[in-house]
Structure formats: C-alpha cells, structure tokens
Structure 1
Amino acid sequence: MVVSVSMVRKLADERSFERGERYLAAGQVRRVTVDGSTVTATVDGTRTYRVRLDVTPKGLCGRCSCPYGADGVSCKHCVATSLAWLEQGGEMGEPRAEPLSDKRLRLFLSGCDQEWLIEQLMTAAKSDRVLRARLAAAAGQKNAFDDRDIRDRLERAIDIPDFVDYGGAYGYFLHVGEALGEVERLIGAGFADAAIILAEYALELLESSAERVDDSDGGLSEAIARVEEIHLAACEAGSPDPVELAERLVARAVSTDYELFLDVLPAYEEVLGSAGLARYRELVEQGWRTLPPKKPDDYSARRFVITHLMENLAESSGGRWADRGAGTGRDELLRRAPHR
C-alpha cells in the first residue's frame, strides 16, 4: 500500500486537511516513530494528543486521543502526523514477526539453562512490580504486594487540579482507563483482594474529580461502570470479608451522588453469602425505617437510593433466601417499599 498526500486529502475533509497542514508548518508534530506498518506521534494542540496511524492493505487507518480521533484519518492531528511522516519519506519499518505460540515458547523455555531463566525473571521483575510480588508470594513472603505504586498511578490519572474541557476529556478518560487496567491486571495475578480495595479507591477519586471534567460524552459513567465490573470480578476471585463488604456496599450506595453500587443484587449474592446478605438486608431496612414520612414532591437522592435498594432486595433475593430465616420475604418487601 502506497500512501500519498492525495490519499490523505481524500480521507479528511478540507478544513481538517488545512488545519493539519498548519500544525505541521508550525512544528507541532513531535516524536514521529515508525514501528513496522504503524506510525505514532504526539501533536501539540489544545493539549498534547497521541496519534497512531496503521498502514493496511485496505488503506490508511488513524486514531487520535482527541474527541474526533475515532473517525479514521479525518481529524487534523491525524492529518498533521500523516503529512509529517510523508515529509520524512513515508518509509515503513520491517514487517512485524508473527508472535511465537505458547506451545513453542513453552518448549523453548523447557530446554533453557536454569541460571539464564533466573536472570531473565529477575530482570523482568525489576521493572514489573506485580511480577516481583508474584514471585515473592510464591517464595513465601507474606503481604508481598505493595499497592502504593498503583495508588499513585490512579491519583495521577484521575485526581486533576484543573478543569478538563471537552477537547481534553477524551485523553483524560483514556489515561483513566489505562490506570484501571493496572488494577484489573491484579485479579489474574493473584492479588484480587488488593484489586478490591484499589477499585473502591478509584471510585473515590472519580467522585471527587467528577465536577472538574466535561462529561458530555459520558466518559465518567463508562469509567465508573468499568470500576464496578472490576470490583465484582475481584470480589469473585478474592476472599473479602462478607459482612464488611456488605457494609461498604450499602455505605457507598447511600452516600454517593453518582449511583454507585445501586444494582449489586443479584450479582454479589454468591460473594456475600448468607452472612453478608443478612447484613446487607439489615442495613438497607434500617435506612428504610429512618426515612421520614414521604411528602409531596419529595425526590431526595437518599430516598431514591434506599427505595431502589429495597426493591432490589425484594426482586433479587427475597423469594430465594428469606425462607431460610434471613428476614421478610418478597411480598412483604414489595408491600412496604412504596409507602415511605
């Protein structure tokens, strides 16, 4: 596939192409790097944006961290990067080698010298704290994982001092997603309990920063939904105390303005078990009893949340475990819920 200026012009609208030309002329395209058939660069605009171009048999594909960067090569930053690359000669690197299959890699490693393998692992562990923690845990070290680095990573990605406008929101939530990926990785690495706590910390940070980010495209809701998915997966893989978990789920649900943990049932039922579910029900019903009598036009957030939790109790678990002595059943809960 031969890429040319005329091809880039056809892929972008006239305005984006002209702006891309101006960005290139102003020297705003930096660090153009070619890796096989992929070109990456950073472009200075309202903020610094990351651009990736892929040359495929079907044509030129582009992605950018700006709000319009998911539309192929149509944004001005992709245009500027394309032109900068073409200005440098438009050369592509060596084709990337096909990845070695797990079977072949395992066969190779089984024949390697033990000392060489140890050196490779030690070298990798120096730059990968999760790997080092896994090795330390396997060696018998208690509390091998230290979550401070990932806490710092979450803070740097989420806890922002200044307002992020619409133009910067895409890049902001991209960084947030990368940090959440590090938390999610802990589940498969054997540190699910640490992932539970870090997921809850990430939710705290997202709540505290929510008013400082333009959320017109729903990035905040997507980030919160992902953290809740990570939290559930970590709870399923880990061994949280069921009663303490129930207390945290209810406390967060009734204290947040962002509808966190509103629909934990039935997903968390197995994790909570009978003890956790009983505590969860106890706290929700306690909150229900303390609500003042409903007045006309009373639409308080607390009333909405507690009513929603009561209805979820009725629909999700009332009919299945109330018969085992865990409290009032479905019909009774549904009868009581609308009256407060």
Structure 2
Amino acid sequence: MCGFAEADLEALAGARSFERGLGYLDAVSGVEVGDGWITASVRGTERYEAELTLEGPDGLSGECDCPFGLEGNFCKHLVALGLTVLQQEESLPRQRQAGRDRVQDLDTWLSALSRDELLALVRELSGEDRQWRRRLELRAASERGDLASVRARIRELLDIGPFAQYGYVDYSDARAYADQAGQAVSAIGGLTSSGRADQAVALAREAMRLLAEAAESVDDSDGRLGQVATDLAAAHLDACRAARPDPEELARWLTGHALGDFDAGLTDIDPLDYEDVLGEEGMAVLRKLSVEAWRGNRRGWAEKYLLKRVTKAAGDVDALIAVHAADLAPNGNTHLVIARELDAARRSGEALNWAERGIQDVRELSDVDTALVDYLCERYAQAGRLADAVALRRDHFGARRTLFAYQQLRSAARATDRWPAERESALALLRTDAEAEQEGRYGNRTLVDALLDDGDVDAAWQAATEGGADDRQWLVLADRVRAGRPSDALGVYLRLIEPLTGQTGNAVYEQVVSLLLSIRDCHRRLGTPEEFTAYAAGLRTSQKRKRNLMRLLDEHRL
C-alpha cells in the first residue's frame, strides 16, 4: 500500500494543481523508490526533480525544484509523481524493501573495504564531484588547524557571486546558497570540536559579518538563510564556552553586536545567553557599557532594549524604571509597563502611583491606552475602591463614547448597584451627540448599539427611527422585533434585500437567501404566505441568470 490516495494529493495541491498534474503523467521518468521516499524527474517547461516523502511528521509531503514548488507549494509535478506511484501501488512494498536492501548492501560493501580501498574510492569521488571535494578540503583544514585555509574557504562559501544574477540571489538560487553557507557553520563547529575553539570564535564573528552583508542581496523568503544565521550564532556560543575568551573583550563585542555594529537582527544574539561565559566580571562590564550606550542615545531603540534586558536580568528595578521613564509614551503605555515591573518587584504602592500618573499625564483621555484604564480599575476593585473604578470608567466613556467603553462602565457600575443612574447619564451623552451631529464622530450609531446591548429593543428602534442607523443595526433590530412586530421587521428586510439583487457573488447570494427566509417568516406570522410566494416568484424571474443563487434557493425551497 502507498499510504496515500488521490484525495490526499488533491488536498495538498488544491483542485487546480491537481487537475494540471493529470496532464503530466507521461512526463514522469526515472522513478526511484527508497524507504519512505520516492524521487523522479518530471518534464515541464524544464526538467524538474520531484521528491515525495511518504511518512514525514505531517504524513505525505513533497518538494520540487520548479518555481512554484520552491515557494513551498505541492505542485503539479508532485501530483504527477504521486499519481504515477498509485498506478504502481501493488509493487511499491517490494520496491521499498529493495531500497532498504540497497542501503544495507552499500553499508556492508563499504565496511568490507580495506583502508587503501576506501582512500582510493574517496579520491575517485573527490575528483568527480567538486563540491564534495571542497567539503573534504575544508574539514581537513579544520582538523589540522590551518586557519588561513579555513578562513579562505569560509569566505568562498559565503560569497554570493556564483549564485547572483545582476548582484542579487533570487529565490530560485537562495536555497542552494543557504546550503553552501551552512557548510561554513559546520566548519566552525568542527574547529571547536577539534580543540581549536579560540579560532572558531574569531571565524564565527567574521562569518557573521560576511553573512549579514550577503543577506542584503538574497531573497530569503523561506527563511533558510535565517536558520543558517541562527546556527552560526549557536556555533559562536559553543566556541565561547569552550575557549573562555577574555570576559571584558567578550562583553564589548556583545555590546557592539547588539547595538548594530552590523546586522545583529540576522543572528539575533542575546547577550544574556553568554552569562555563564562572562561571569561576574564580564556581566559588570556589560552593564556598564549598556548604561554608557543608553546615556549617549536615550531614544535609540537598540540602546534601550539592551539596557532593559541587562538591568532586568540583574534585578535592578530602579535602573530599569529610569530607562522607561526617560521616554514616556504620550498614551500612558510606558506608565503601565513601569507599574507592572513594580508589581513584579512587590512594590504595589509605587505601581499604583505610576498608573495614576499615566492617566494624569495623558493630554486627552480619549487617547489613553485602554489597558492602563483596565489595570487601574482592576487595582481599585482589589482595594475595594469601587467608586473610583466607576469614576474612571465614566470619564473614559465620556472621552471615547464607544460601545466597548459603555460596556466597561456598565460592568463597573453594576458592581456598586449604581447602573441605572450611570446608564441614564451615559445615554444622555449619546443622545446629545446624536442630536448635535447625526453622522459625526459618534452620531446615533453608538446610541443604537448601546440600547441593543442593554436589551432595550424598543428604545433602540425608536432611536434608529429618529436618528438613523446603519444596515447592520437595522438587521439586528428586525431580527429582535420579528416575533412581536412582523410587519415592522418585514419592511426592514424588504429594504435591505433590494440593493443585493443588483449584485453578484456567493457571499451576496447567501445574504439574499437569509433575508428571504426572514421575509417568509414575517409573512407566515402575518398570515399572508401567498404574498411571499408571489414575491419569491418575481425575484426568481428577475434573477434567473444567477445560477448559484438559483441553486441556493432550490436548496432552501424558496
């Protein structure tokens, strides 16, 4: 058994690619079956190499070097290969066993070769495969500690020249470049494991600079080069742990890296990962350099981030607060960050003061970070200061007049049994807005939403009638009153369906059907089903060219 079916291929490829794959069955050649994988060549615009993985972490998967496949898609060539395999389903278990036997036979044969025979074989393959030979040369140079040769080879591996057209490595070549760059990382790791960690540290830093320069000219859409950079950072850390470089020198290098001496974002090194290497002496230097850098550029993002990380790790809350306080956001967000840091340090009184200061410092309460309001109200509730929570919610609603602010005020006021009075004041504000400017910033819409949210449907209907409402609100209103006032609801549904009849698209057709069902229900409640029958017939006649709509109407017996 293959372990997959046509339906699996279609699900992975999508209907369009699956259908195209049907036309490529005759283009598949050179099928090779291994234990869990199948490869073949598929002739398209060019000859592409396709590979199916039968038992991966997510089940069936595939890779193809065609442009569409390189973007991570399950392409038509993979579909063609999968369908070819299904045609040979009965023989697949035998072929997979044969693949396992070939691997075992090769291992047995290699194990039986003498040292001289193995050397002859390696030399033969090195002469035939330049890339393989270069890998062996790099490994040999690493093992004998030939730093000059290793450095020269790493520079070659990180050079984009062989892959670049017009100075840029496009997506189709980025994978090959990333694979080659990965060899440089392996070489650096080899230096560390062979007892030359000090050399590995130096080469890793040089490789980071070269890789950052190269990355500016590589389309790394699939993140392969980013993974190479991550592996390179890990190789540098391993080398430092083995070599134990001078703590002060390492602290200076880490600071410079974090502050962007070159593209630190590519390797994403966290200086705190090196705490065990830096020791107390190195960490003290790191803190000192971080403070100096921040004082030199208090608004620099990298400087602030580094100092925050270092001071927080050291447990120096006051220094951390000083960093935050030097650049307070105008919406109170930074005050909230400071309050939470103080809470974590069990300094709740100071935390509350900073949060309240955030409300006081903001120019317009309508611009305040809602999370700061939520934090303060929660703290007031914990302290039994419910009246203060209501007052803050009231002020916030008065500044913003949104449905959410109304809901938050209602929740706070109900906890103090003061909602009726607060509700009347809040609704009075919304009515004033509606009267002053019907289509203004708040207008009548928030009033209708607030009344609906309260469940006061009659008042909401009156507000919508007097001041207007949008189609969404009218639909909600009609749904709410349909049982008791079907005639009013019917008028809304008929008005809402009219513009939809001039539009196309499945989403529109679904709205039409939903409204028709509501219209039918209204006529049923009014005892006028024959009027609905006539209306539906007329709509069918006028819309008969819309086949998908007709299908939906048939499904719902409309």
- TM-score category by the smaller chain? 0.5 to 0.7
Aligned to 2:78: 78
CA contact (8 A) 2:205 2:236 kept: yes
Unmatched segments (≥5 aa) in structure 2? 127-132, 328-558
Larger RCO, structure (CA 8 Å, separation 6 or more):
1
Aligned to 1:310: 307
* Distance in 2 (alpha carbons) for counterparts of 1:131 and 1:216: 30
Whole-angstrom distance in 1 between the partners of 2:274 and 2:78: 44
Instruction: Give a deviation string over 1:295-340, Cα, whole Å, max 9, x none.
Output: xxx5xxxx11111111222122x35xxxxxxxxxx25532542327
Counterpart of 1:245, as a letter, is L
- Per the TM alignment, residue 183 of structure 1 is displaced from its structure 2 partner at its CA by 4.1
Q: Secondary structure at the match of 1:162?
A: coil
Report the count of equivalent residues: 302
Select which of 204, 224, 233 maps to 2:238: 233
Residue 268 of structure 1, CA deviation: 0.4
Between the aligned partners of 2:240 and 2:137, the Cα distance in structure 1 is 22
Q: CA 1:4–1:226 in 2, change beyond 3 Å: closer, same or farther? A: closer
Q: 3-state SS of the aligned residue for 1:229?
A: helix
Q: 2:275 aligns with which of 269, 273, 277?
A: 269
Q: Which amino acid aligns with 1:228?
A: A
2:44 aligned with 1:52, yes or no? no
Q: Distance in 1 between matches of 2:219 and 2:29?
A: 27
- The match for 1:14 is 15
Aligned residues of 2:142 and 2:191 also touching (Cα < 8 A): no
Q: 1:92 aligns with which of 82, 92, 95?
A: 95
Closer, same or farther in 2 for the Cα pair 1:261/1:217, shift >3 Å? closer
Summarize the alignment of residues 244-263 of structure 1 with structure 2, pairs less than 5 Å apart: 244-255=249-260, 256=262, 258-259=264-265
2:259 partner SS: helix
Could you tell me which residue of structure 1 aligns to residue 63 of structure 2?
Answer: 63
The aligned residue for residue 149 of structure 1 is 153
1:244 aligns to what SS in structure 2? helix
What letter matches 2:320 in structure 1? L
Q: Distance in 2 between matches of 1:281 and 1:120?
A: 55
Structure 1 or 2: more helix by fraction: 2
Corresponding letter in the other structure for 1:229: A
Please tell me the residue identity of whatever aligns with 1:205: L
* Shift in CA distance, 99/40, structure 1 to aligned 2, threshold 3 Å: closer
Q: Which one has the largest radius of gyration?
A: 2
Query: Could you report, residue by residue, the CA deviation over 1:54-106 in whole angstroms, capped at 9, with x for unpaired residues?
Result: 4569986433467767989x322322444677899978362325999xxxx9x
CA contact (8 A) 1:252 1:260 kept: no
Partner-residue secondary structure (3-state), 2:150:
coil
**2:63 counterpart SS class:** strand
Q: CA RMSD in A?
A: 5.0
Deviation string, structure 1 residues 131-151 (Cα, Å, up to 9, x no partner): 5357646xxxx7597343233
Report the counterpart of residue 289 of structure 1 in structure 2. Answer: 295
Within the alignment, does 1:334 sit opposite 2:320 as a pair? yes
**Identity over aligned pairs, percent:** 31
Counterpart-to-counterpart distance in 2, 1:45 and 1:230: 41
Distance 2:278 2:119 in 1: 38
The 1:97–1:30 alpha-carbon spacing in structure 2 relative to 1, beyond 3 Å, is closer
**1:200 maps to 2:200:** no
Unaligned runs of 5+ in 1: 320-329
Measured in 2, the distance between the counterparts of 1:60 and 1:149 equals 38
TM-score, normalised relative to structure 1: 0.62
